[in-house]
Amino acid sequence: MTKVVAFNGSPRKEGNTSILIRHVFDELEKEGIETETVQVGGRKIHGCTACMKCFENRDRHCVIDDDIVNSCIDTMTEADGIILGSPVYFLDVTPEMKALIDRAGFVSYANGHPFSHKVGNAVVAVRRTGASRTFDSLLHFFLANDMIVPGFPAIGVGRDIGDVERDEEGIQHAKRVGQNMAWLLRMMNH
């Protein structure tokens, strides 16, 4: 079965980022696509230490094995589509999301780009400023890994948990991202 996995970089498990992911998922599920969210924000997760062991070992894993990154890499490898979701923190992604991007990205580079030709997209929750830049940070993970991104940015505006539900345009954009991902996955015969 076709599967899309979303990584939620917000420490607020049920916050605005998660709500946007849910709207993307609704559209994917309507098309019979399986979905799963992996909670990344708020969990202990190391940054890349630049030890370069991933290039020595080339075993599709990071040498740091006491956090969730290796299981995230496995989940990414098995999925047909990947969503990275983050709230804007000081005009960029959360530190947990950045750690995942750096370490999963380097492991991918060391192992012949196992995420090649998967479908990717990003979801961003913002109160006021920095959404485009955060969106770019997330997109670069896909573009640097041979992945394919169907257009449209899912950016929702809100501060407190649930605020984003009142951003009608943001919700519509999230739904459109789900529709576009489903369309592309179908076109690719997943």
Ligand X SMILES: Cc1cc2nc3c(=O)[nH]c(=O)nc-3n(C[C@H](O)[C@H](O)[C@H](O)COP(=O)(O)O)c2cc1C
Q: How far is the CB of 36 from ligand X (least distance, A)?
A: 18
What is the C-alpha to C-alpha distance for residues 43 and 67, in angstroms, rounded to an integer?
A: 8
Residues 6+ away with beta carbon under 8 Å from 120: 81, 82, 83, 84, 139, 141, 142, 145, 147, 148, 149
129 binds ligand X (CB under 6 A): yes
**The only residue of 24, 54, 73, 125 in contact with ligand X, by rule CB under 6 A:** 125
Residues 6+ away with beta carbon under 8 Å from 70: 61, 62
Instruction: Report the interhelical angle of 95-110 vs 131-143 (nearest 10°).
Output: 20
Q: Which among 46-54, 85-93, 113-121, 145-153 is the span making contact with ligand X, rule CB under 6 A?
A: 85-93
Query: Are the C-beta atoms of residues 110 and 54 closer than 8 Å to each other?
Result: yes
158 binds ligand X (CB under 6 A): yes
Q: Which is nearer to ligand X, 55 or 90 (CB)?
A: 90
153 binds ligand X (CB under 6 A): no
Q: Which among 61-69, 70-78, 87-95, 182-190 is the span making contact with ligand X, rule CB under 6 A?
A: 87-95
Neighbour order of strands in the sheet with 154-157: 34-39, 3-8, 81-87, 119-126, 154-157
Site size toward ligand X (CB under 6 A) is 19
76 binds ligand X (CB under 6 A): no
Q: How far is the CB of 79 from ligand X (least distance, A)?
A: 21
Provide the binding-site residues for ligand X, judged by CB under 6 A. Answer: 10, 12, 15-17, 87-91, 125-130, 158-159, 161
